[in-house]
Amino acid sequence: MMMDSEEREGLVVPTPTRDFEEGLENLRRYGLTIVPDALSARQLMEARDALYRAAESDAQRKRSTRFSLDYETDLSNRRVWNVLSRDPVFEDLAFHDIAVSHVKAMLGWPALLGNLSANITGPGGGEMILHADQIFVPEPWPPVPQGLNVAWCLDDFTDENGATRFVPGSHRLNRAPREDELQSETVAMEAPAGSALIFESRVWHKTGHNRSRNIFRAGVFGWYHNHIYRPQENWFLSLRPEIRQFASDDALTLLGWKSEGLGLVNGMSPA
Ligand SMILES: O=C(O)CCC(=O)C(=O)O
């Protein structure tokens, strides 16, 4: 990857911070910021239990646990789709103040929740293909991110157990990695369970290889984007109804029920 000397950061992971402005500066510089202790002990325990239960239930019922960007060899890793509808605790994550405040600051408002899905790496699990999350946006890309990922660590994320890996500063190239850049050097987003990893949509990243013998790594990935794009999940078909019924205004906006300019019904916001 070619970067000028100002852009070249080395493989630096920013120091975790709860300071909002410092976090935004990390996002500008590295494309990533890490918020420690983002979840309460109760939220972490409930979310972790609910996610592993959902994954087990999907496995027993032979529901899809794969994703097209995962390598064919990736048989130990499990995806859980639409976790928002699987347990109320995931509403706490999707609409968490930390997530919504970063979405507003980075993407503007209204924005949409594209998906809330999970990836559990398992012992021996393979890496994902190096990618940027806004690959559906035709290049040349606008000079600002079109989306933001807020990933909740439900287990410790470590180099050994397949923590998400990234190329610091790659968002400033403002394009997806090319074929000959897929093996670029990356660094693990290591963070304790309960942390939020917030990275913008142009950052080159991938699931790490889980080299452990018996350690799983559960992460819930909240994907948010500019409201001009279509969400990955079709909330109007898949959302558990009471989520909308009891949703805050911000949550209704993120789910597309409250809208401005687009997604209207007879010229008006549906909610
Ligand atoms: O599992 C991970 O660590 C990253 C997942 C990811 O990058 C994706 O699903 O796009």
> Per-domain residue ranges for the chain?
20-227
* Ligand 1 neighbourhood includes 176 CB (under 6 angstroms): no
Provide the pLDDT confidence category of residue 71 given band limits of 50, 70 and 90.
low
Is pLDDT larger for residue 71 or for residue 229? 229
- Is residue 8 over pLDDT 70? no
Q: What is the pLDDT of residue 69?
A: 62
Give pLDDT tens digits for 145-174: 999 999 999 999 999 999 999 999 999 999
Is residue 65 within 6 Å of ligand 1 at its C-beta?
no
Mean pLDDT score of the chain: 94
- Whether residue 76 has pLDDT greater than 90: no
Q: Which of 128, 165, 209 to mutate to test the pocket of ligand 1 (most atoms within 8 A of CB)?
A: 128
CA distances from 120 to 54, 154, 173 (A): 11, 10, 29
Ligand 1 touching residue 207 (CB < 6 A): yes
> Is 4 a residue whose pLDDT tops 80?
no
Check if 218 has its Cβ closer than 6 Å to any atom of ligand 1. no
* pLDDT score at 125: 92
Give residues with Cβ within 8 angstroms of 157, minimum separation 6: 163, 164, 188, 189, 190, 191, 192, 195, 197, 217, 219
- Determine phi and psi for 175, rounding to 5 degrees: -160, 165
Distance 164 CA to ligand 1 centre (A): 7
Distance 149 CA to ligand 1 centre (A): 10
What's the CA-to-centroid distance between 216 and ligand 1, angstroms? 15
CB of 85 closer than 6 angstroms to any ligand 1 atom: no
pLDDT at 265: 97
With a 6 Å cutoff on the Cβ, whether 149 touches ligand 1 is no
Rounded to two decimals, what is the model's pTM? 0.95
Confidence check: pLDDT of 197 > 80: yes
Domain 20-227 has CATH 2.60.120.620: yes
